[in-house]
Structure 1
Amino acid sequence: MSTEKITAEVRTEFGKGAARRIRREHKVPAVVYGHGNDPIHLTLPGHDTMMALKHGGANALLELEFDGTTQLALTKQVQVDPVRRVLEHVDFVAVKRGEKVTVDVPVVVVGDAKPETLVVTENATVQIEAEATNIPETFEIDVTDAEVGTQFLAEQIALPNGATLLSDADLLVVNVTAAPTAEEIEAELEEAEAEAGIERDEPEDATEGDDDAAEGENAEDGDSE
């Protein structure tokens, strides 16, 4: 994993008002925890930080430069505005080169399984212990031409050198099953609607047909009289 350098500023103002002012300047409030030290409160450049987190993935490793010092920091939590999709706050854990850390690595499925199959990601992450500078961004699982019944377990994932699998070895990560038929999908939908108390409306043409039939019967009754 490569590290990206970010020039930060030590933050001395706190609270919601201070955070809003920081964001108005297109910057991001952040905190670095770890190694038994007091938390370090920082302000980071918004755009550069966003790009670094995109490049590094869920466990992005940044090299933060502030007050003449450099600190390796592993991303732990990112808060994003749900509407504007901009960074609101970032939590980091201070790490050292060669230090091992516990992380959850996202699973990415690639390739196409056999026709009429359904590929299900049973677990979206796999937990490992690895050196902070050697954490994979993702674990790729290739399902190319996989048949129904094929399963991919955590123990089958290739780990980086020096890494240890912490998830159960027999953890089911990806499962290839038979794709449901249209009838099965319809039956599941009806069952879900019934459980939710949803009643389906009668088709309009069917209702109109019943009305026409009723009118015809009434007309015959009138003629017979």
Structure 2
Amino acid sequence: MDEENKVVADPRETFGKGAARKIRAAGKIPAVLYGHGTDPQHLTLPGHQVGLLIRKANAVLDLQIAGKSQIALVKDVQKDPVHQVIEHIDLIVIRRGEKVQVEVPVHLEGESYPGTIADLDAKTLLLEVEATRIPENIVVSIEGLEDGSQIHATEVELPAGATLVSDPETLVVLVHVPQKVDLGEEAAEAAAEEAAEAEAPVAEEAAAESAE
């Protein structure tokens, strides 16, 4: 484990929305650590440090709780939808050498054949990996791939020590020539309809005035 992943976690005794607000106001994050049959532990984490660490998917933290080390996988991060402030983190107890199943982001590298585009159909793949060696992403090369090329999960080169859990036939990448859509006639028809709708009320008003 990297030194930067060492996080001093304080046990907390206060609960509820009010207590959580006070924790966040102090620049910290409320969290719960659970797993392996242990009782859930309610913790307080340093906000800035943890906020940087969890930018990476499947972050693993080396929690320092009352002087003891406990490795934990970030399982869920709850954020305020408007302000994007981290409201709560769920952590899972893991042990060195243990294998876990995690969704790992797929990253495309290179450029497909000129005139084509590459659609990333599967943004993540489910892998089984050692808990302390979770890859940041899976790199898939699309360099020079031509129209109609497909890459399925079984063809993706996985990081060392990783095993594919996702369906091997999962479509990961599809390379194709984008369809050309002629919007000329459609746009002209839409403009004509809008103009007709705009003129209708004017004609009605004129008819009403002449009737008076």
Higher mean displacement: 60-69 or 1-10: 1-10
Root-mean-square deviation (Å) = 2.4
CA contact (8 A) 1:134 1:160 kept: no
Question: What is the identity percentage for the equivalent residue pairs of Structure 1 and Structure 2?
Answer: 46
Give secondary structure in 1 for the equivalent of 2:18: helix
| Pair 1:19 & 2:23 matched | no
**What secondary structure does 1:106 align onto?**
strand
Equivalent AA in structure 2 for residue 202 of structure 1: A
Q: Deviations over 1:81-116 (max 9, x none)?
A: 223222111111110110001111111222221222
Is 1:88 the counterpart of 2:78? The answer is no
How many residues get paired? 194
| Contact 1:22/1:43, CA 8 A, preserved across alignment | yes
Which residue of 2 is the match for residue 202 of structure 1? 192
The corresponding residue for 2:121 is 122
The equivalences for 1:60-99 within 5 A come to 60-99=59-98
Gaps of 5+ in 2: 200-212
Q: Where does residue 52 of structure 2 map in the other structure?
A: 51
Q: Could you tell me whether the CA contact under 8 Å between 2:13 and 2:42 is conserved in 1?
A: yes
Structure 1: stretches of 5+ with no match in the other structure: 191-198, 211-225
TM-score scaled to structure 1, two decimals?
A: 0.79
Q: Tell me the SS of whatever aligns to 1:176.
A: strand
Q: Deviations over 1:36-89 (max 9, x none)?
A: 0011111001100011112xx210111011111111001111112223222111
Distance (whole Å) between structure 2 residues aligned to residue 145 and residue 158 of structure 1: 17
Superposition pairs of residues 52-201 of structure 1, within 5 angstroms: 52-54=53-55, 57-183=56-182, 186=183, 200-201=190-191
- What's 2:205 paired with? none
1:9 aligns with 2:10: yes
Distance across 2 between alignment mates of 1:200 and 1:39: 60
More off after superposition, 159-168 vs 145-154:
159-168
Q: Which has more radius of gyration?
A: 1
* Cα offset, 1:203, TM superposition: 6.9
Residue type of the alignment partner of 2:6: K
Counterpart amino acid of residue 13 in structure 2: T
CA–CA separation in structure 2 for the residues paired with 1:9 and 1:138 = 31
